[in-house]
């Protein structure tokens, strides 16, 4: 999921929803996570995101501009918090 969100952040914002505010590294939900934590899920997923076509050098500028984005189609009634917590059961 982290790699997919990174890829979505690098692409068009048309069908994406921001789950973390621009210029913020904290990603809400349970468990909370931080985009900049080298041992956290987001940095660990960066290599996979690059393999999927995400340009790593554009990650932080896109976070500053739009925040972390996820495809809207992935979010159900509970939005990001429900999806993220389900992934961590």
pTM value is: 0.87
| Dist CA 72 CA 89 (whole Å) | 22
pLDDT in tens, 25-45: 999 888 889 999 999 999 999
The pLDDT, as a whole number, for residue 35 is: 95
| Dist CA 42 CA 36 (whole Å) | 8
């Amino acid at each position: 999921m982290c790699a997919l969100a990174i890829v979505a952040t690098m692409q068009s914002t048309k069908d994406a929803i921001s789950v973390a505010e621009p210029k913020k590294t904290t990603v809400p939900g349970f468990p909370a996570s931080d985009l900049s934590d080298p041992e956290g899920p987001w940095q660990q997923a960066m290599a996979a995101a690059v393999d999927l076509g995400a340009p790593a050098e554009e990650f932080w500028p896109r976070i500053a501009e739009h925040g972390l984005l996820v495809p809207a189609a992935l979010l159900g009634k509970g939005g990001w918090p429900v999806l993220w917590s389900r992934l961590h059961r």
